[in-house]
Chains A and B, each alone.
Chain A
């Protein structure tokens, strides 16, 4: 089974009336969608608003989704259109990423703007999470670290990772799970109640 097919299981559940399944899709893709929208708007808070609007549009259009493309691809199109419409309605131009930024100062300025979180609390939380995840990764055994990096950073499938690491697919599945468990344990220790709902923390 692929990611597309796995998402389709959730999509079909939403179409049968399970709103919780849509919540799972949102939780899974919210960061990627916000990152995508940030290519069109400068402000991360505004990007979150657009991402939120895009997800709601997707929910309303979900009965028409037939699975001809992957849910994520379909969601991407909705998010891009929502961002473009938002820009058009506010009569603003998107950030020109293809500019030839030869000046290091100018390049640094653009990157700094992109990294600006909406609130100091949000920035602190984000940095804390990154720190925990990175330190947890550093503490992992080499085979676990390799498996999780190949999966999350390079986007390889279990079969491809198994081929790269010369081990069975089941072993890859176990290694990735153990890596996630170790990182998740550190996150749970820090945030106690978990990160299921960080709105209150922020």
Chain B
């Protein structure tokens, strides 16, 4: 129906509404509709400004400059401010678009806490499972090699840090032990032993060493080695020099490696 009327007539009615709205004489519904239109119509806002100017000029407000410099400055300043509430719909199409986003409300805070608590809870569960696994492994009675290695941490790192040429007699013969050694290497490789300290054989290796050399060694050195083995750490003076590898020294050693190898 509105399309049938000439454009000037429609504009005249709209401008008449604008004049009435300026004077507060428009109905609330019409006022709301016109305010939406004003939000996106710069020409209409210019007309609104001139209506204010006409009133100021008629009242001859002394000292008041008849321009809209104040409005211009305020508009520039307000553009930097955050907009309020929900700026969806027609308000979002306003000529003065909000420059900043309204900060998140406090209602979203629980969601943030849950988001941050999830990885912490996951890490806690993983640590608990790891601790239970370690305790369970330590409580296993049937594996004396594992127990011996758990009680003697320093020598276990030495196995990794001092590679030996050729097949390693004992460790190469026990796949389980070598798998454990590999896992320990990842843990202890960052803190190697000082190179000045003499390298000691691990208890299992020492035991084999004692057994292999029992028929050749003297009673005193055999007793010292046995006492070190019982105490869980090598006796002072009983070292395993690189050159004194059992496989290279004696025939029985070679046989032992051959029988234990997979």
- Which residues of chain A have a CB within 8 Å of any CB of chain B? 1-7, 9-10, 13-24, 26-35, 38, 44, 47-48, 51-52, 55-56, 59-60, 62-63, 111, 114-118, 122-123, 125-126, 129-130, 133-134, 137, 148-149, 151-153, 157-158, 169, 173-174, 176-177, 180-181, 183-184, 187-188, 194-199, 201-202
Option from B20, B31, B86 in Cβ contact (under 8 Å) with A17 = B86
Q: Which residues of A contact B52 (CB under 8 A)?
A: 27-31
Q: In the complex, A188 Cα to B51 Cα: how many Å?
A: 12
Q: In the complex, A33 Cα to B64 Cα: how many Å?
A: 9
> Is the pair A27, B81 in contact by a Cβ cutoff of 8 Å?
no
Q: Which residues of B contact A63 (CB under 8 A)?
A: 84
Which 8 A-B pairs have CB atoms at the shortest separation, nearest pair first? Answer: A196-B46, A17-B87, A3-B24, A18-B91, A20-B94, A31-B56, A133-B57, A6-B24
Given contacts A20-B95, A44-B65, A52-B70, whether A196 and B49 have CB atoms under 8 Å apart is: yes
Q: Which residues of B contact A22 (CB under 8 A)?
A: 78
Q: Which residues of A contact B45 (CB under 8 A)?
A: 20, 23-24, 27, 196
> Is the pair B58, A149 in contact by a Cβ cutoff of 8 Å?
yes
> Is the pair B62, A187 in contact by a Cβ cutoff of 8 Å?
no
> Is the pair B64, A27 in contact by a Cβ cutoff of 8 Å?
no
Q: In the complex, A16 Cα to B61 Cα: how many Å?
A: 33
Task: Tell me, rounded to whole Å, the shortest Cβ–Cβ distance linking B89 to chain A.
Answer: 9
Query: Counting chain B CB atoms within 10 Å of each CB, which of A20, A26, A111, A125 scores highest?
Result: A20
Q: Does B77 have its Cβ within 8 Å of any Cβ on chain A?
A: yes
Option from A19, A29, A38, A56 in Cβ contact (under 8 Å) with B94 = A19
> Is the pair B83, A19 in contact by a Cβ cutoff of 8 Å?
yes
Option from A20, A27, A122, A123 in Cβ contact (under 8 Å) with B39 = A20
Q: In the complex, A14 Cα to B27 Cα: how many Å?
A: 19
Q: In the complex, A152 Cα to B71 Cα: how many Å?
A: 21
Q: Does B251 have its Cβ within 8 Å of any Cβ on chain A?
A: no
Q: 21 A-B residue contacts at CB 8 Å? A: A1-B24, A3-B24, A13-B91, A16-B85, A20-B91, A20-B95, A24-B45, A27-B52, A28-B22, A28-B52, A29-B52, A30-B52, A44-B65, A52-B74, A63-B84, A114-B63, A123-B65, A133-B54, A158-B25, A184-B50, A194-B46
> Is the pair A195, B49 in contact by a Cβ cutoff of 8 Å?
yes
Q: How large is the interface on B (under 10, 10 to 19, 20 to 34, 35 or more residues)?
A: 35 or more
Query: Counting chain A CB atoms within 10 Å of each CB, which of B50, B63, B90, B98 scores highest?
Result: B63
Q: Which residues of B contact A47 (CB under 8 A)?
A: 63
Query: Counting chain A CB atoms within 10 Å of each CB, which of B46, B71, B95 scores highest?
Result: B71
Q: Which residues of A contact B54 (CB under 8 A)?
A: 133, 152, 180, 183-184, 187
- Which residues of chain B have a CB within 8 Å of any CB of chain A? 15-16, 19-28, 31-32, 35, 38-40, 42-43, 45-75, 77-79, 81, 83-88, 90-92, 94-98, 102
Given contacts A17-B83, A31-B64, A173-B20, whether A24 and B38 have CB atoms under 8 Å apart is: yes
> Is the pair A198, B19 in contact by a Cβ cutoff of 8 Å?
no
> Is the pair B53, A199 in contact by a Cβ cutoff of 8 Å?
no
> Is the pair A48, B65 in contact by a Cβ cutoff of 8 Å?
yes
Q: In the complex, A14 Cα to B102 Cα: how many Å?
A: 14
Q: Tell me the nearest residue of chain B to A43, going by C-beta.
A: B63
Q: Tell me the nearest residue of chain B to A48, going by C-beta.
A: B70
Option from A28, A62, A173 in Cβ contact (under 8 Å) with B25 = A173
> Is the pair B38, A157 in contact by a Cβ cutoff of 8 Å?
no
